[in-house]
Amino acid sequence: MKLDIVTIFPDYFAPLDVSLLGKARQRGDVDAHVHDLRGWAHDRHRTVDDTPYGGGPGMVMKPEPWGEALDAIVPPGSSARLVVPTPSGRPFTQELAGAYAAEPWLVFACGRYEGIDARVIEDARSRMPVDEVSIGDYVLAGGESAVLVMVEAVTRLLPGVLGNAGSAADDSFAPGRMEALLEGPVYTKPPDWRGRPVPPVLMSGNHGAIARWRRDEALRRTAAIRPELIARNALDDADRRTLSE
Ligand SMILES: N#Cc1c(-c2ccc3ccn(Cc4ccc(CN5CCOCC5)cc4)c3c2)n[nH]c1N
């Protein structure tokens, strides 16, 4: 997968060089490049913002630098999808992460201030698919954190990125997964910590009992924290007994 990120804060993306994503980049599974938008701002002060037409608070990102940046990064006729984080975007979900993981090339536009001049999105839509996406119902100061979240959620789905550590297909919200339950509690050594033992079933070696216990814990946690997700699951009699306790 090819990733391009355009931002006025390129240092924000130093985390892309660590952890699993860093290894994926070293292996060549992910070809990621971060671009400083100010490279396409040609005045002495490298200006990227201006006052909003119609008045209102704050500043708006000028269209010219963005237009030149996207022209330079995405040549006409290439197969990039532009993803623009914005508070007013469609929700970014595990399903959308799965769809993005199948894309050959994603370009992320990180806005700041009150956002990017709307004509940049219009102009980009004339030559590539563009998604305006929000990572949640809270307000950030810019798109960079959202892009870090999306890049992590997408790249962990790429073959080989998670390694043997686990399979994204087991995630609670994995697309196509028959169920959407919140994960229950996990434990590791020592068997007793500060007088708190690990649930004995997990050390019983009885894999059927362990699977049942884990599902019961997931059902209980989901019913308590995200009851609306219960209906998305195919429950059997044992599940219903657990939920009725
Ligand atoms: N993804 C994501 C995000 C973002 C996000 C993403 C990208 C940018 C670029 C600039 N900002 C700052 C910003 C904050 C608030 C507003 C709304 N304004 C309406 C008029 O009154 C003032 C306020 C606009 C821009 C961004 C925020 N926030 N929350 C998410 N889930």
Confidence of residue 176 (pLDDT cuts 50, 70, 90): very low
Residue carrying the six token digits 């006025």:
8
pTM given for the model: 0.92
Number of other CB atoms surrounding residue 226 within 10 Å:
14
Q: How many residues does the chain have?
A: 245
- Provide the pLDDT confidence category of residue 136 given band limits of 50, 70 and 90: very high
Any idea which residues carry the catalytic annotation?
Answer: 87, 114, 156, 171
ipTM greater than cut 0.85: yes
| Contact call for residues 92 and 134 (beta carbons, < 8 A) | yes
Test site for ligand 1: of 86, 116, 137, most ligand atoms within 8 A of the Cβ: 86
Using CA atoms, how far apart are residues 205 and 202, in angstroms rounded to an integer?
7
Ligand 1 atom having least distance to the Cα of 58: 22
Structure letter (DSSP) for residue 116: B
- Angstrom CA distances, 80 to 4, 71, 165, 233, stand at 9, 12, 30, 35
pLDDT tens digits for 30-67?
999 999 999 999 999 999 999 999 999 999 999 999 99
Ligand 1 centroid from CA 42, angstroms: 26
Nearest CA to ligand 1 atom 21: 57
Tell me how far the alpha carbon of residue 77 lies from the centroid of ligand 1, in angstroms: 30
Lining ligand 1 with CB less than 6 A are 57, 85-87, 89, 111-112, 114-115, 134-136, 138-143, 146
Of 93, 139, 144, 150, the one to substitute when testing ligand 1's pocket (max ligand atoms within 8 A of C-beta) is 139
